Amino acid sequence: MTDTHIVTIDRHIIDEERRKPEASGAFSNILTDMALAAKVISRQVNMAGLVDILGRAGHRNVQGEPVQKLDVFAQDVIYRAMDHTGHLCCMVSEEVEDFIPIPDKFPAGSYVLLFDPLDGSSNIDVNVSIGTIFSIQRKVSDQERGSLDDCLQPGRRQLAAGYVVYGSSTMLVYSTGAGVHGFTLDPSIGEFILSHEDIRIPRSPTRYYSVNEAYYSRWNRGTQRLLDHLKGTDGSADGGGFSARYIGSLVADFHRTLLRGGLFMYPSDPKQPEGKLRLLYEASPLAFLAEQAGGRASSGEENILDIQPEALHQRTPLFIGSGELVDLAEHYLAGPTDDG
Ligand code: P6P
């Protein structure tokens, strides 16, 4: 008997909206528009090997990194899905140096969309999963078409956050503050179908730690001691027992951590004193999801969601996943950093 009880993401978003009497519907429309953008990007990503969109687009983004053509495509798709709807006052994108006001020809709204259109783009050419990350904040200034104050808000104030992982299947995972829910794209009907309701990050004992260990020699002693403990090489009775997993694509590594538990980390080092990952549209939305799923995220010193952003593209060290492992990371990072 074919299951006819399917919950599409559009229906789920409407159900979530109905739980909030004050909801205007604008907020729900942003999520629905993001789901549409995700379908369009997914089609292009899955065709990447067939269509001439691989390889570099010939210029560099605001981070100074070579821009892949799919990066440009994803940026355009999300921008065009959002610029005319009247729900946003402005946007922040990893691909654009300044915040992006809604054009005067379109009505402006009360929300801010912050996004990384295609994270992990260096993996595109080798067919490794990549992702889109997004965060939604409410406008706080009196500027009709947004201001830096609307963009530089702590993650604790997010109204919603989510990501799309373009992998063996395309999944959209989001939260509006009432748990984390995952939807798998069924290409045969072009719909995201509820497949992972109320995702909870497994608690210890969990199996995985996830970090680029090639940088071990650059880390401070606290970070090195944390790795030694996770690997069971520090001689402690309760160390070890993990498997290492590192894809090198943030959304894919986080998605596994969300579903299987464990600890993902991208520590700082002398070459990257603030870490590599971006606060506003990478660490902060993933931290919101982690906390909604019963885990948490830290810079190593403070909860990611409590950081007051100072700049659009500022970076942060990131330790995210099962709460007790994030606690462990903070414990080791607070310890002696020299050989003492
Ligand atoms: P590294 C991909 O380029 C990315 O921005 C994230 O998706 C990923 O987590 C990280 O960089 C990988 O960085 O230094 O380990 O190659």
* CA 144 vs CA 92, 104, 113, 308: distances in Å: 16, 10, 15, 23
Lowest mean pLDDT among 68-72, 97-101, 114-118, 228-232: 68-72
Residue nearest to atom 4 of ligand 1 (CA): 120
Per-residue model confidence as pLDDT tens digits over 83-126: 999 999 999 999 999 999 999 999 999 999 999 999 987 788 78
Question: Which of 196, 217, 246 delimits the end of a domain?
Answer: 196
3 pLDDT exceeds 70? no
pTM: 0.94
224 pLDDT exceeds 80? yes
Per-residue model confidence as pLDDT tens digits over 152-187: 999 999 999 999 999 999 999 999 999 999 999 999
Lowest mean pLDDT among 36-50, 138-152, 296-310, 317-331: 36-50
Q: Give the CATH number of the domain where residue 316 resides.
A: 3.40.190.80
Q: Which residue has the tokens 């909801």?
A: 23
> For the chain, what is the domain count?
2
DSSP line for 235-253: --TT----EE---S-HHHH
Residue 2 lies in a domain: no
* C-beta 120 within 6 A of ligand 1: yes
Q: Are residues 187 and 45 in the same domain?
A: yes
Distance CA 77, CA 138 (A): 22
- Tell me the two tokens of residue 216: 């071990």
For ligand 1, the distance from its centroid to the CA atom of residue 102, given in whole angstroms, is 30
Q: Are residues 212 and 127 in the same domain?
A: no
For ligand 1, the distance from its centroid to the CA atom of residue 104, given in whole angstroms, is 36
Cβ atoms of 130 and 282 within 8 Å: the answer is no
For ligand 1, the distance from its centroid to the CA atom of residue 219, given in whole angstroms, is 16
Cβ atoms of 201 and 293 within 8 Å: the answer is yes
Residue 3 lies in a domain: no
Query: What pLDDT, on the 0 to 100 scale, is given for residue 2?
Result: 60
Q: Are residues 295 and 224 in the same domain?
A: yes
Q: Are residues 290 and 260 in the same domain?
A: yes
* C-beta 249 within 6 A of ligand 1: yes
The average confidence (pLDDT) of the chain is 92
**How far does CA 270 lie from the centroid of its chain?**
25
**How far does CA 294 lie from the centroid of its chain?**
16
Residue 339 lies in a domain: no
Mean pLDDT of 301-325: 97
* CA 208 vs CA 109, 242, 296, 320, 322: distances in Å: 42, 5, 16, 12, 10
Tell me which residue range forms the domain holding 292.
208-333
Positive or negative, the CA dihedral 219, 221, 223, 226 is positive
Q: Are residues 46 and 152 in the same domain?
A: yes
Residue 232 lies in a domain: yes
- Tell me the two tokens of residue 132: 């889109």
Q: Residue 26: left if φ>0, alpha if ψ -120 to 50, beta else—which one?
A: alpha
Mutate to test the pocket of ligand 1, among 62, 276, 313, 316 (most ligand atoms within 8 A of CB): 276
Residue 287 lies in a domain: yes
66 pLDDT exceeds 80? no
* C-beta 16 within 6 A of ligand 1: no
Mutate to test the pocket of ligand 1, among 119, 254, 282 (most ligand atoms within 8 A of CB): 119
Cβ atoms of 287 and 279 within 8 Å: the answer is no
Classify residue 324 by burial, with Cβ atoms within 10 Å: 0-12, 13-18, 19+. Answer: middle
* C-beta 213 within 6 A of ligand 1: no
Residue nearest to atom 3 of ligand 1 (CA): 120
Q: Are residues 224 and 326 in the same domain?
A: yes
